[in-house]
Amino acid sequence: MFRPAVPVAFLYALAIAGCGDPSEWTTPRVVITGMLVSPGFLGLEYIGETARVRAQFRYQWLGGEYDPASPPEIPRPEVTWSSSDTLVVTVDGTGLVTAVANGSAELYAFADHYSDTAFVTVQQIPRFLEVVSGSDQQGRSGTVLASPVVVGVTDWGGVGVAGVVVSFGPEQGAGSVDPETVATDAEGLGSTEWTLGDGVGEQSIRIWFDRGPALWVTAMAGS
């Protein structure tokens, strides 16, 4: 039977079921029969995200009669934690797991001669989009702006997400961009060159990624 803690109702039942002179009761011996890591699977969505895993023990009662005045000792061995790949996730001595990079790893728990394993995946989810550089430029209409428009995609922890397809779309009369779509690099950055439209005045392009936010970058075109 799985016993992460001593069930109070069960202890009372033992006391009621006991027979004979209470002075002759012997204290039951509690032994560990197994260990289980919970949860057995973790999915982390941003670099730096943390979660906790715990080791629960299965117990067995051997012999004796329960005496409320002398409860049995419950063994609670120290648990040692480790990660199969510390470049993906780390785990400290308390079972606190921290995401380091995208990938997967196993967590190992050891206590006496018992052990169990949990599986962890880290897969960044893109959440935020920001302009890094290239906004509010000025240039002659019909020409390429001096600096590219650079944007960054980050996860909840503010770390860049690679491989996110970012789209750039000029508003009506705002010229053209090259490229129109780009996958972010290892730092979560993507850029495009903007050729202003033939008109004079403020022009803008819309920037977005799938299932993410959108933003606009403006430039001033002169004659």
pLDDT digits (tens, 9 = 90+) for 25-49: 566 778 888 889 999 999 999 999 9
CATH T-level fold of 8-122? Immunoglobulin-like (2.60.40)
Task: Give the model's pLDDT for residue 74.
Answer: 75
* Mean pLDDT across 158-163: 97
Task: Give the model's pLDDT for residue 67.
Answer: 65
Closest by Cα among 136, 111, 106, 110 to 121: 106
3-state DSSP: the chain helix, strand, coil percent, rounded to 5? 5, 50, 45
Q: Which of 51-60, 102-111, 210-219 has the lowest mean pLDDT?
A: 51-60
| Residue 10 pLDDT > 90 | no
Task: Give the model's pLDDT for residue 69.
Answer: 65
Judge whether 8-122 and 128-222 match in fold. yes
Helix (H) or strand (E) holding 115: strand 114-122
Percentage of residues in the chain having pLDDT higher than 70:
84
What number does CATH give the domain 128-222?
Answer: 2.60.40.10
What is the pLDDT confidence band of residue 6, given thresholds at 50, 70 and 90? very low
| Residue 94 pLDDT > 90 | yes
pLDDT tens digits for range 108-156: 999 988 899 999 999 999 999 999 999 999 999 999 999 999 999 999 9
* Mean pLDDT across 7-27: 48
Distance CA 190, CA 174 (A): 20
- Residue corresponding to tokens 């906790």: 52
Q: Which of 12-21, 58-67, 93-102, 145-154 has the lowest mean pLDDT?
A: 12-21
* Start-to-end Cα distance in the chain: 83
- CB of 116 within 8 A of CB of 36? yes
In DSSP notation, 43-69 reads EE-STT-EEE-EEEEEEEEESS---TT
